[in-house]
Structure 1
């Protein structure tokens, strides 16, 4: 494979999302919290009230809990009003990654097109891998910095399972088109991903605002990295390459 990350995003914050099990009707991804750098280190906070509803298309925390959500196990706020945690936050999330001492750790990095962890911060590694574990529904997503001039990333195609007929148009290494949809009924920042004019899904809504901004101000290339998953949950991954527009000074 020739696609390797040259410019890894260095996030100041990461968004914690959660997806219910496949058996939950109307299954969708929820934005539930944020990991962010502070002057004292790193903290985690749950989104609450109006901020939670704004990030989740008007849905409420009660609706989230009705899907079986109990919060992130390392930061249990049930029975209290505590929403911010600052003790061993990075350590808690880094436990979701395989230890570097494992013999297959290099293969794990290659899966995300990372060649080495030299000079890679814990926040960058968590954002690049999304720190997924099979079965618990949580992932950490780097929202990206729209001002960044150089960036490479592997992102999953959101909603790909809703476009099963698009699989025939997808070839690893094939060029994909990214099209902003400001008139999208649910998200004015929506960015459609297509192959030969056939919709294969969307950029996830956490990263869509930055990707949409990049499309207007940067040279953005998207190619299909891989297809995997199962029949009930097919998955597609994109290698995203962002560079300054030719002839223009990078911001």
Structure 2
């Protein structure tokens, strides 16, 4: 098991909403939490295509923040921390291990929300760290997006420990910054679109390596997680 001991402190997390059963099941970025001088500010992003499309699929608001045109600055962190177990829980180290964080990991509550996604079973919301400004060296633990849509590979073809390859897909008709993930030369899915710009940047200037770290979920909706590392090409040349 690979364990991460330190997470870069993000300055921004994105609030994502997934449309419910019977809709497209797409994930839309509908808001952001910014860390400004140690304080959290939450705002919706109403002037974006994602927000418009989310509303068309039934999005109304995050229950704690009902006014779409208001900027919120009180109890933001506390509100979202209710989505994950408290640190005082006796089994909190097990929770960290589930997300491949070492028990002595140096990670703030804000960073922990972005690292874990802070998902609940039935409300469709999650938080994503877009890796703004993060440079090598860096470790990450991400979920593969879109695996269930891949026809050329099945779950039986994948096992924990298999190396993965990341490749930019500029010819992608939906997103020219799409980053596909491959195992044994076959596509298993993509990097989340919110994080793909960071991967494009890393792949251009650094070395990005990863392995299949965890497989769970259900037969109909398997979840595949990747542990990876970004290292500097310069550092590797010096080490060689």
TM-score normalised over the length of structure 2: 0.92
Is the counterpart of residue 237 in structure 1 residue 225 in structure 2? yes
Deviations 1:15-71 (A, max 9, x none): 1101122x223220001010111136110110012xx11xx3xxx62x422322221
Is the counterpart of residue 64 in structure 1 residue 63 in structure 2? no
Q: Which residue of 1 aligns with 2:16?
A: 17
Structure 2, unpaired ranges of 5+: none
Q: 1:70 to 1:117 in 2, by over 3 A?
A: farther
Runs of 4+ in 1 over 6 A off after TM superposition: none
Q: Note the C-alpha offset of 1:146.
A: 4.6
- SS of match in other structure, 1:31: strand
Q: 1:76 to 1:222 in 2, by over 3 A?
A: same
Mapping of residues 151-166 of structure 1, within 5 Å: 151-163=138-150, 165-166=153-154
Q: Which residue of 2 aligns with 1:199?
A: 187
Structure 1, unpaired ranges of 5+: none
Is the counterpart of residue 77 in structure 1 residue 56 in structure 2? no
Q: 198-207 vs 147-156, which deviates more?
A: 147-156
Deviations 1:147-176 (A, max 9, x none): 511111110001111126332321101101
Q: Distance in 1 between matches of 2:218 and 2:118?
A: 20
Is the counterpart of residue 209 in structure 1 residue 197 in structure 2? yes
Q: Distance in 1 between matches of 2:208 and 2:76?
A: 33
Q: 1:248 to 1:37 in 2, by over 3 A?
A: farther
Q: Distance in 1 between matches of 2:238 and 2:63?
A: 47
Alignment RMSD (CA, Å): 1.9
- SS of match in other structure, 1:14: strand
Is the counterpart of residue 132 in structure 1 residue 131 in structure 2? no
Mapping of residues 19-98 of structure 1, within 5 Å: 19-21=18-20, 23-39=21-37, 41-49=39-47, 52-53=48-49, 56=50, 61=52, 63-77=53-67, 81-82=69-70, 84-98=71-85
Instruction: Report if the CA contact (8 A) 1:9-1:153 is conserved.
Output: no
TM-score normalised over the length of structure 1: 0.88
The structure that is strand-richer by fraction is 2
